């Protein structure tokens, strides 16, 4: 009986097959465990059932790091669980383990999609996003076997973090323009790590979270191996702690650089949560008109520079409905300020635009912004005829939204300041896309406005998840930010991400604030898309190097196996 050949022997080395021969050196695929150095019996990798259970627990724990619960340290635990679960097996097993982690995370995290539609769209979206984590698992199965990661836990932690964040970046770009919801960074708006967004945006924050989680896993595995605990367990934990604390040194500045802007934000509310929120003609419009007049309980006419309405604050287009036009103009005159009105436009060429209209009293619309990134399956339906086979929910979107053209900047003429103030405007889900926000700030925006409509999502965590994104955008751009919603949660955010004021869900409310106007550009805005591109290139480089190494090791294994004696009986 021939002695079996190794599955991944190091290049240039063969395994003795004769009885009584010395034990062979461990293959690269067996040496990646941080606890395996100098030991032939490292901590055993988890069995497949245990790995799947660990992955599922890790996904659920990671979701708890995000709003509404917001237990941000659990993001490190969730990543660590995935790292440990992926210790063994090939690409197929890695994909399965990653997929389970992804499903356990995205199904509860995107529950609001189930509330707004039905089961099939919610599951389809969750599965699509979870597949990216599955790719991380498959890629890690290839990369972790290479000799340049063997017995180097620090390198392993960095490599795993890069792969994870590269997958985050990829799913933020594809398909259909990507869907960034659930990036690790969005769990850290209230943590010290969130401050790192000033330097490198969400990519850097996610990378630090993934690296901290990987180091935690390295420490746990070293403890399980019971060997060199101080160096292999204490040091990684200390490094992870330093990563969390280091952003406290980031110099976040909240001072006004070009004066202040007095704003009033109106949350008008709707008659009922859910898909029937806009069923009654002009109800939402009337609520926001009344909310605008209610601002006069806090300020005098003319005290405000602008009044901010949410996305769909007017359920009728004031440019085509004379009665709506008159009502908005009257409200603007009463409060003595222009109103940024959220509405829909229906061009003669078909489709519709999601717009923010700057309405000047007596003049009407003087500037506008049309949403550049409509939400696929929510505001337009790709592959409509194909998807209708699986769910008739696609027909809820009767008129597809079309993307606007131009950067998200609305120019507000301020008599009090004696100049034009550029407002950075991103509508609803656009706040999840760093490029759109950075483009507006690079084009001169001195504050950020996030008009949104959360009425369809009920009392789910969608609105607070979105508010966390707005807080991170405030840090990464150094701009005061106002998120204003039809139903909440609305909030006023300082340039350092501090939540200064907020409202409750499904209440009528108004907020008045003086926002610092800022003109300097943060390192994150100056870097633009480069942090994401660098991470993607590093991940592709690691995969390419691992692929080349794997081919070479197979060739060397075949050559050595051919030269090795094959006779001995076992």
| Sheet strands (E) in 174-329 | 260-267, 306-308
Give yes or no: 371 in active site: yes
- Contact between 58 and 91 under an 8 Å Cβ cutoff? The reply is no
- Contact between 232 and 34 under an 8 Å Cβ cutoff? The reply is yes
- What's the CA gap between 440 and 356, in Å, rounded? 14
- Contact between 180 and 61 under an 8 Å Cβ cutoff? The reply is no
Which one of 311, 430, 446, 462 is the catalytic residue?
311
- What's the CA gap between 531 and 83, in Å, rounded? 23
507 C-beta neighbours (distance < 10 Å), count: 12
Give yes or no: 311 in active site: yes
Nearest to 473, CA basis, from 442, 451, 495: 495
- Contact between 473 and 271 under an 8 Å Cβ cutoff? The reply is no
- Contact between 143 and 550 under an 8 Å Cβ cutoff? The reply is no
Which one of 129, 131, 428, 553 is the catalytic residue?
428
The single-letter DSSP state of residue 270 is: -
- Contact between 505 and 486 under an 8 Å Cβ cutoff? The reply is no
Structure tokens at 231: 């160096």
Nearest to 534, CA basis, from 189, 207, 52, 175: 207
Give yes or no: 553 in active site: no
Residues 6+ apart with CB under 8 A from 365: 318, 319, 357, 358, 359
Alpha helices (runs of H) in 86-196, residue ranges in sequence order: 91-109, 111-116, 119-143, 153-171
Which one of 129, 168, 202, 371 is the catalytic residue?
371
Burial class from Cβ neighbours inside 10 Å (0-12, 13-18, 19+) for residue 512 reads middle
Whether residue 489 is preceded by a cis peptide bond, meaning omega within 30 degrees of 0, is: yes
Active site residues: 311, 371, 428
């Amino acid at each position: 009986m021939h002695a079996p050949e190794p599955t991944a022997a190091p290049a240039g080395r063969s395994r003795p097959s004769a009885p009584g021969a010395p034990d062979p050196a461990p293959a690269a695929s067996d040496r990646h465990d941080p606890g395996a150095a100098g030991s032939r019996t490292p901590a055993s990798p988890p069995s497949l059932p245990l790995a799947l259970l660990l992955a599922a627990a890790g996904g659920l724990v990671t979701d708890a790091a995000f709003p509404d619960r917001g237990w941000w340290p659990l993001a490190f635990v969730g990543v660590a669980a995935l790292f440990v679960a992926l210790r063994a097996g090939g690409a197929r097993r890695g994909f399965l383990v990653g997929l389970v982690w992804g499903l356990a995370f995205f199904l509860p995290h995107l529950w609001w999609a189930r509330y707004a539609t039905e089961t099939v769209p919610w599951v389809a979206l969750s599965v699509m996003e979870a597949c990216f984590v599955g790719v991380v698992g498959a890629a890690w199965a290839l990369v972790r076997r290479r000799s340049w990661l063997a017995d180097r836990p620090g390198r392993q932690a960095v490599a795993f973090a890069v792969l994870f964040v590269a997958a985050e970046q990829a799913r933020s770009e594809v398909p259909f323009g990507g869907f960034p919801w659930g990036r690790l960074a969005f769990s850290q708006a209230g943590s010290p790590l969130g401050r790192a967004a000033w330097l490198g945006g969400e990519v850097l924050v996610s990378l630090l979270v993934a690296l901290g989680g990987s180091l935690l896993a390295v420490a746990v595995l070293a403890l399980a191996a019971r060997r060199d605990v101080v160096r292999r367990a204490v040091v990684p934990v200390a490094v992870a702690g330093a990563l969390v604390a280091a952003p406290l040194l980031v110099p976040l500045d909240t001072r006004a650089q070009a004066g202040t802007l007095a704003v009033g934000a109106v949350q008008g509310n709707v008659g009922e949560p859910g898909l029937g929120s806009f069923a009654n003609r002009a109800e939402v419009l009337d609520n926001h008109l009344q909310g605008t007049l209610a601002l006069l309980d806090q300020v005098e006419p003319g005290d405000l520079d602008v009044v901010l309405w949410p996305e769909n604050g007017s359920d009728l287009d004031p440019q085509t409905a004379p009665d709506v036009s008159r009502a908005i103009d009257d409200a603007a005159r009463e409060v003595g300020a222009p109103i940024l009105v959220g509405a829909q436009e229906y061009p003669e060429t078909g489709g519709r635009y999601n717009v923010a209209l700057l309405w000047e009293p007596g003049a009407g619309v003087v500037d506008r912004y049309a949403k550049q990134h409509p939400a696929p399956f929510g505001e337009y339906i790709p592959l409509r005829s194909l998807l209708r086979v699986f769910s008739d929910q696609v027909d809820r979107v009767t008129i597809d939204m079309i993307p606007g053209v131009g950067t998200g900047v609305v120019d507000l003429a301020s008599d009090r300041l004696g100049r034009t103030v550029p407002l950075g405007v991103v509508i609803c889900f656009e706040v999840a896309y760093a490029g759109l926000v950075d483009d507006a700030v690079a084009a001169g925006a001195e504050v950020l406005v996030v008009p949104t409509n959360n009425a369809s999502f009920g009392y789910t965590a969608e609105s607070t998840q979105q508010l966390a994104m707005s807080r991170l955008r405030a840090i990464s751009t150094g701009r005061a930010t106002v998120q204003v919603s039809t139903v909440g949660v609305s909030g006023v955010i300082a340039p350092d991400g501090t939540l200064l004021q907020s409202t409750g869900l499904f209440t009528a409310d108004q907020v008045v604030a003086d926002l610092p106007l800022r003109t300097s550009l943060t390192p994150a805005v100056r870097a633009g898309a480069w942090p994401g591109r660098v991470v993607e290139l590093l991940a592709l480089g690691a995969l390419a190097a691992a692929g080349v190494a794997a081919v070479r090791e197979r060739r060397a294994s075949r050559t050595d196996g051919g030269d090795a004696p094959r006779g001995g009986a076992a």
